[in-house]
Amino acid sequence: MKTINSEKIPIKIWTDNVEESAIKQIKNLANFPFAFHHIAIMPDVHKGFGMPIGGVMATKDVIIPNAVGVDIGCGMCAVKTPLKSDNLSVDLLKKIIGQIRQTIPVGFKKHKIPKKEISKTKNKIVSQELNSAKYQLGTLGGGNHFIEFQKDGKKNIWIMIHSGSRNLGFKVAKYYNEIAKDLSSKNSVKIPVEWDLAFLYLDSKEGKDYLDEMNYCVNFACENRKLMADLVIGVFIDVLKKENVKLLKKDFGKIIDVAHNYARVEKHFGERVVVHRKGATSAKKGELGIIPGSQGSASYIVNGKGNEESFMSCSHGAGRKMSRKGAQENLKLEEEKKKLEDLGIVHGIRNKRDLDEAAGAYKNIEEVMENQKDLIEVVEKLVPIGVIKS
């Protein structure tokens, strides 16, 4: 970790690898009038909208929709299966992947029949979107979201899922960011429009409404991942039954679930503040976390060390080193496919469009982990064997 003291409050950063466009955003955070104590930047940092991905900012009295982002509650879940990698052939894995693709909609697709009841609410935007959201509960989405199959050092097979609140979070984020922008002319404290950091006072009706709707989306995203995990477990049980291997749901481990896009009221440095984590994972002392790599590199189950310098946070993944367009234009399709095939990974890279999620588009996860040794300790290192993306 190094400290930059050129702005209004210090910037504490866990990497030397930061693009110039992200540096500009980081400095905006450090000069934000309500920012508290210092800004913490994780080693997977890259440019976002308003606030960089991999950023952690605590504020006094205000909450910032763009410092949470449009995929509210996006995060990870992982579950250990009772299977060993020696008992999971490539052909069997492909059967499982094929059935999962028939069971869990990906991309913009959704279920034809809701898989689970969805809790009602009086919140304005969520209420408007509930009918659509009930068909999206238990769906993967697109972009960097994935279902991945991995093995640990003892050859145990794991399931890992990355997904968020689907269109629900997007609608809530967009609505309240527009309200924050509309109210900016009435605020006594002015923020440059180009910063894209319009805020809501926490004790205002709008601020309270956003916090309530944001928390609903965080819970929805968690339920979304857990439902997908249950569906994937069901596929494992069904496919293995046809292979004369009996599995029961109770044979699978407890689901670990963590979010990495949200804001939460916490106590740090003796003060109650709103901690915004945008592409960052909570890492309180002893708290389990999940840090995925790319589809061609390891992922990690970790324990937090409770380091106050990062507001008890760590990275949410490896972090992009190329934009989506940059990856599609600069990476070579056959080279990226060969990387995964040489590692024995069943993957879904088929054409140039898929290169935006190729392993070469991401930072080196081992460097990211090395840079945050003071924030977390590794519990499990998980190596990918198969990946599902949209």
| pLDDT level of residue 170 (50, 70, 90 thresholds) | very high
Closest-CA residue to 114 (of 140, 142, 136, 141): 136
Among the options 37, 46, 260, 316, which is catalytic?
A: 316
The pLDDT value given to residue 179: 97
Residue type, 120: K
The pLDDT value given to residue 261: 98
How do residues 76-127 score in pLDDT, each as one tens digit? 999 999 999 999 999 999 999 999 999 999 999 999 999 998 988 989 999 9
How do residues 372-385 score in pLDDT, each as one tens digit? 999 999 999 999 99
Cα(289)–Cα(44) distance, integer angstroms:
15
Extract the tokens encoding 90: 């490539």
The pLDDT value given to residue 348: 85
How do residues 134-153 score in pLDDT, each as one tens digit? 999 999 999 999 999 999 99
Question: Cα angle vertex 2, ends 277, 48, to 5°?
Answer: 35
Cα(127)–Cα(313) distance, integer angstroms:
32
pTM: 0.96
Confidence check: pLDDT of 14 > 90: yes
How do residues 254-289 score in pLDDT, each as one tens digit? 999 999 999 999 999 999 999 999 999 999 999 999
Q: Are 147 and 159 in contact (CB under 8 A)?
A: yes
The pLDDT value given to residue 390: 84
How do residues 227-252 score in pLDDT, each as one tens digit? 999 999 999 999 999 999 999 999 99
Q: Is 347 a catalytic residue?
A: no
Extract the tokens encoding 59: 């504020």
* Angle between helices 124-136 and 166-183 in degrees, nearest 10: 160
Domains defined for the chain, CATH in brackets:
2-321+362-388 (3.90.1860.10)
How do residues 355-373 score in pLDDT, each as one tens digit? 999 999 999 999 999 999 9
Cα(139)–Cα(128) distance, integer angstroms:
19
Cα(361)–Cα(252) distance, integer angstroms:
33
How do residues 25-70 score in pLDDT, each as one tens digit? 999 999 999 999 999 999 999 999 999 999 999 999 999 999 999 9
Strand order in the sheet with 271-278: 2-4, 11-13, 35-46, 53-59, 271-278, 261-268
Extract the tokens encoding 315: 């990275």
Question: Cα angle vertex 67, ends 324, 206, to 5°?
Answer: 130
Q: Are 318 and 362 in contact (CB under 8 A)?
A: yes
The pLDDT value given to residue 267: 98
Q: Are 54 and 45 in contact (CB under 8 A)?
A: yes
| pLDDT level of residue 195 (50, 70, 90 thresholds) | very high
| pLDDT level of residue 185 (50, 70, 90 thresholds) | confident
Residue type, 250: K
Q: What are the angstrom distances between the C-alpha of 21 and each of 18, 49, 323, 329, 335? A: 8, 11, 12, 20, 28
